[in-house]
Amino acid sequence: MKKISIYIIFVLISTMCFICLGCESSNKDKNLYKTKIGNIIVWNIMDSKTEESTDIFKGDDKLVKETYPNGKYTSYVNFFVVKTPRSINLIDTGLGNIDMKTTLSSVGVTPDEIDSVYITHIHPETVGGLIKEDKAVFPNSKIYVSFSEDEYILGKKDDDPNKILYKKIEKIYGKKITNFRSDAEDSRNPITSIASYGHTGGHTLYRIESKNEILYILGGIFTDLNLQTKNPKISSTTDDDQERATSARQDILDLIESEEYPTKCTGTHFPFPGIAKIEKVKNGEYKYTLEQ
């Protein structure tokens, strides 16, 4: 397996944050789901759910047709609130389709209280929620974008829509955008990053560990969990480099398999409620079970 290095991201915010557990919504809300990893609370927030064409999937037409005979699959966009004992963080921000203030109040936080936003990659479905009407939605947050993703996006042509979006975000957040190395190692903090290039050139995964429990937040590495666990070699045209994305997907499945403690995973496009256990069925084939 290709070596994937893990890097703990910085000392999390020094201020102790009051977490209003009494204000939280229940798990019954249609776009919110709460899970716990040790003493860390993670909320999956579903930003959107749409029917899309399966034409984007390449590599196993037979399986695609068998799984989705009408040529449509359900595409989800999720992002995550991660409450550690010391800080309140977001992993990505969704498209910005939902009212952020109202949604976050359902999980007991306000946009002003978000200490850090960790970005997996620069696509509209992960950074769209950072801004609204050309203003910062999270004025007090640091926005973490890996050096490699920053370089990759800024290296694109000036008319690339993702570069235009990122430059707009950079202008609005200024020095609050913090770049970090996703491929260096450390091991002190509960949120770690993993370089996993392919979906974009600097795509970054996050791993959360607390009290012998683990959660991987896999960004855009799975476009459709159903197809790509049955056959991880199925690629998607939404991957900038389909070959590299396929190899990154296989690497992460191996990494999850090798974990010593109970391990869950989730991702930008995981089907709601979005928290899954992935197990190997046989070589090259996996299955997932959603937490309910």
The residue among 71, 43, 27 whose CA lies nearest residue 224 is: 71
Contact range with Zn ion by CB under 5 A, out of 77-85, 121-129, 155-163, 172-180: 121-129
Smaller CB separation from Zn ion, 209 or 239: 239
Q: Cα(81)–Cα(79) distance, rounded to whole angstroms?
A: 7
* Smallest separation (angstroms) from Zn ion to the CB of 220: 3
By the 8 A CB rule, do 232 and 284 touch? yes
Provide the H-helix boundaries in 20-160. Answer: 61-67, 100-106, 124-127, 147-154
**264 lies in the site for Zn ion, by CB under 5 A:** no
Tokens 């089907």 belong to residue? 271
* Smallest separation (angstroms) from Zn ion to the CB of 200: 7
Which tokens go with 80? 């995550």
Q: Cα(74)–Cα(77) distance, rounded to whole angstroms?
A: 10
Which residue in 34, 83, 123, 264 binds Zn ion (CB under 5 A)? 123
**220 lies in the site for Zn ion, by CB under 5 A:** yes
Smaller CB separation from Zn ion, 96 or 220: 220
* Smallest separation (angstroms) from Zn ion to the CB of 22: 35
By the 8 A CB rule, do 193 and 7 touch? yes
Smaller CB separation from Zn ion, 35 or 236: 236
How wide is the angle at C-alpha 18 spanned by C-alphas 118 and 205, nearest 5°? 15
**83 lies in the site for Zn ion, by CB under 5 A:** no
* Smallest separation (angstroms) from Zn ion to the CB of 9: 20
For residues 169 to 208, the per-residue mask of contacts with Zn ion, x marking binding by CB under 5 A and - elsewhere, is ----------------------------------------
* Smallest separation (angstroms) from Zn ion to the CB of 270: 13
The residue among 224, 215, 207 whose CA lies nearest residue 269 is: 224
Residues at the interface with Zn ion (CB under 5 A): 123, 220
